[in-house]
Structure 1
Amino acid sequence: MKLLIRGGRVIDPANEIDAIMDVLVADGKIEAIAPNIQAEGAINIDAAGKWVCPGFIDMHVHLREPGFEYKEDIASGTRAAAAGGFTTVCCMPNTDPVIDNAAVASFVRERAQKSGVVNVLPIGSITKKQAGRELSEMAELVEAGCVAVSDDGLPVADSAIMRNALQYADMFGLPVLSHCEDLNLARDGQMHEGYYSIIYGLKGIPAAAEEIMVARDIILAQTTGAQVHICHVSTAGSIDMIRDAQERGVQVSCEVTPHHLILTDEIVGSYDADTKVNPPLRPLEDVVALREGLLDGTIDCIATDHAPHHLESKDCEYNLAAFGISGLETAVALIMDKLVHPQILDAETMVSLFTIGPADILGINKGSLDVGTDADITIVDPELVREVNPREFYSKGKNTPFKGMVLKGWPWMTIVSGRVVYKEGKIITE
């Protein structure tokens, strides 16, 4: 089957393309990119006024399966991803059982092939059962298809274990994705520690809880020469340390979530548990620093940290509620509306943060429209205006602080290996 995507603004930062062109897809691969392609028998897709981009990648997603299918499963999570414009997602290992061995990693891949609609790449755990005491068998995880290791949701508190993890992972070229949190400082916290936590009467989580661990992991990366990736960075202090380390040649990268780029801790005053996230929403000065980190290249990619929850764990008192935001279906629209349209972020940079940024960190052959590669394509309509309505989410998780917000610039079509899986608000499974 051939698809001819006609007349769109092709934005492919990996190949420095930003022009009105056609894209021809044949047998699931990119066959040609050029103006005015003629292809007899191809299905024509009119992309005039749209952005035609390499398939977007989300390297930080919680699909919950196995073990927590009441929150999300691979079928629902990958449909949410497709609706959000993502063609590839990486699923974190804090499942039950934990993805700490080949059997569980293989289960995830096989389930994704059967019931998923986008590419799913598993991330293995750094330590067995995420207990922080004994390293997982990383060679086994690599053979089973894991593209990185992380104990996300929990920090690796023991510095000796983390050092060994970096050295061991480096043997396989695996990035180590670090959840930077000092639990002794953060324990029982509900929101950022500062002015608003005092006003709202909620126990705070200090910025230092993140920054202490960021500093440690930078030192360990420098000591070992291995690659460390800082998950969901949220403070100005973390950005400053990462920027300095990168300038010194330390192999450290980082990601930021849309909610940390847009919301501040002031919004917690609504006591809407959908604003409860870990790391917590921070003050305006941190949001400004994160945006500066995007612009100067300190931050390598945008990732959702998609954390779907069932209603009961959010519809309760704030201090009892679970942490997390269901982010797959709103991420692109939020960045378009809040950063691209106000001209804070240009189109090419925005696309690179969802494509070559995560692809380079993970070392995967994705994130570009190279001829001969898998035809994973995200088409964005920059003028499409829609309201965020959680009832219409494909994800089981309806927990979003953005509900009711009207946003401009949404994914219009998602194509995975040459097959249209999402178009104009509808998942296409046939």
Structure 2
Amino acid sequence: MKTLIKNAQLFYQGQLTPADLLVENGKFTEIAEEISTDDVNVIDAKQQLVAPGLIDVHVHFREPGQVHKETIKTGTLASAHGGFTTVGAMPNVIPVPDDPEKFQKQLDLNKKNSLINTLQYAPVTKDETSDELVDIEALDKLGAFAFSNDGHGIMNAQSMFEAMERIAAINSHLAAHVEDKNLFNHGVINFGSASQRLGLPGIQQVAETSQLARDLILAKETGVHYHVCHISTKDSVDLIRMAKDAGINVTCEVSPHHLLLNDGNILKDDANFKMNPPLRSQKDQMALLDALEDGTIDMIATDHAPHAKEEKNQGFEKSAFGITGIETSFPLMYTRLVKTGMISLERLIDLMAVKPAKLFGLKDVGTIGLNQQADFTMIDLNQEYTINEADFLSKGTNSPFIGQSVFGKVMGTYVNGKAVYTSNHEG
């Protein structure tokens, strides 16, 4: 059966344009101002935005090992609810898929339970915490999307250097959680006015920036595609900007919470504001927004990190790091950045679909085009609603944005032309 999407406000070739789209056998087969055809299932977009399926290169789905927090099925359904059709799943599951047998099992589990395209990161080192490198070449051949020890900084410079050399040799990508644990000092919140006001141990910014500076030098030497996860400080922005100017093959992402919040928003000991890296100062937040506008920041990624309620209701010192974010990312970014005039809608789609696909070498996703895989999302930009934890499809409801009013409701998400989520029923 063919599917005809009528009356779309289509993001196509970098611009918004009125159009109809015809989908057949999971691909876009015709895109025109008006399409008429028989024997077709018609979806009236009603002038709503039809955009390429969003891409998030940084999510945590918790399966296997911690399915009380999230499963691949609930995580991918939540992703579809947020308008995402492709995600990169981090390897901090139990067990860590750090050898070919465990990695293949993870791939099989993803394939069995995913409602969308779930790409799998491989770890850089054994168990993500050792200095011993995994068999990078073998995991790449199995289908590793990229390599990351997310959740842990790579402490040994020799291990990082060798990993970069080997990852560069196979033309893959290294996504780094930059954190020197020796400078972390058991902190739970940014070191600053909020930590002092609440009497909580603070995390110094140099825990992030010192390791970033080291890695940028190593990336220059090796030529690897070095991607910096969830940058959070002005100094990190400055370092990345200088590295790009010097021709280093570096990209970076920022998370919605670091763009929209700072540690001044933490008014009490509420662990829904606890994440790693932590919310920084207002100066850091403003630097991130500036870097988003000037192109230093390449993409937005959620760092979707669901936890059970009992793991987030014990205050900053005892609760887990991380917030859920994939269901709220687009509406928050659209409401706070686009509707305020800070960036254009086209730029937001570039940050959340086009650039992630381009910079990570993903084929057939991130854009809408003839004979491409029909992955797309339909969004009512004019519909205002309140973020409500009862509406979350993720198992995690640990979000500091609950109760906020936003625009941009996802009405439907489609993978290979098939609905995986619609606003009136689950896919």
How high is the TM-score relative to the length of structure 2? 0.97
Aligned partner of 1:302: which letter? I
TM-fit CA distance, 1:332:
0.7
1:333-348 aligned within 5 A: 333-348=331-346
CA distance in 2 between partners of 1:391 and 1:216 (Å): 44
The answer as to whether partners of 1:99 and 1:123 remain within 8 angstroms in 2 is no
Q: What corresponds to 1:422 in structure 2?
A: 421
Aligned partner of 1:22: which letter? D
CA distances 1:153-212 after superposition (whole Å, capped 9, x unpaired): 001011111011111011111110000011111131111111221111111111111111
TM-fit CA distance, 1:424:
1.6
The answer as to whether partners of 1:130 and 1:151 remain within 8 angstroms in 2 is yes
Task: Choose the corresponding residue for 2:94, options 93, 96, 117.
Answer: 96
The answer as to whether partners of 1:117 and 1:421 remain within 8 angstroms in 2 is yes
Q: What corresponds to 2:30 in structure 1?
A: 32
Aligned partner of 2:213: which letter? A
1:254-269 aligned within 5 A: 254-269=252-267
CA distance in 2 between partners of 1:279 and 1:131 (Å): 18
CA distance in 2 between partners of 1:36 and 1:135 (Å): 55
Aligned-residue identity in percent: 39
CA distance in 1 between partners of 2:106 and 2:32 (Å): 38
Aligned partner of 1:7: which letter? N
1:19-418 aligned within 5 A: 19-365=17-363, 366-418=365-417
Higher mean alpha-carbon deviation, 141-150 vs 302-311, is at 141-150
Question: Equivalent residue of 2:267, what SS?
Answer: helix
Question: Equivalent residue of 1:222, what SS?
Answer: helix
Aligned partner of 2:411: which letter? W
The answer as to whether partners of 1:100 and 1:136 remain within 8 angstroms in 2 is yes
Aligned partner of 1:81: which letter? S
CA distance in 2 between partners of 1:190 and 1:425 (Å): 40
Aligned partner of 1:284: which letter? Q
Question: Equivalent residue of 2:137, what SS?
Answer: helix
CA distance in 2 between partners of 1:290 and 1:85 (Å): 24
CA distance in 1 between partners of 2:15 and 2:41 (Å): 24
The answer as to whether partners of 2:198 and 2:268 remain within 8 angstroms in 1 is no
Aligned partner of 1:6: which letter? K
TM-fit CA distance, 1:300:
0.9
CA distances 1:292-311 after superposition (whole Å, capped 9, x unpaired): 11111111110000001111
RMSD of the alignment, in Å?
1.2
CA distances 1:90-137 after superposition (whole Å, capped 9, x unpaired): 100011110212333322332233222111000000001112311111
CA distances 1:237-258 after superposition (whole Å, capped 9, x unpaired): 1011101111111000000000
Aligned partner of 1:201: which letter? G
Q: What corresponds to 1:9 in structure 2?
A: 9
Question: Equivalent residue of 2:327, what SS?
Answer: coil
Aligned partner of 1:348: which letter? E
Aligned partner of 1:252: which letter? V
CA distance in 1 between partners of 2:14 and 2:267 (Å): 44
State the 4+ residue runs in structure 1 displaced beyond 4 angstroms: none
CA distance in 1 between partners of 2:102 and 2:6 (Å): 42
CA distance in 2 between partners of 1:103 and 1:327 (Å): 31
Unmatched tracts of structure 1, length 5 or more? none
The answer as to whether partners of 1:230 and 1:253 remain within 8 angstroms in 2 is yes
CA distances 1:342-366 after superposition (whole Å, capped 9, x unpaired): 1111011100111121112221112
TM-fit CA distance, 1:425:
5.2
How high is the TM-score relative to the length of structure 1? 0.97
CA distance in 1 between partners of 2:183 and 2:423 (Å): 45
TM-fit CA distance, 1:289:
0.9
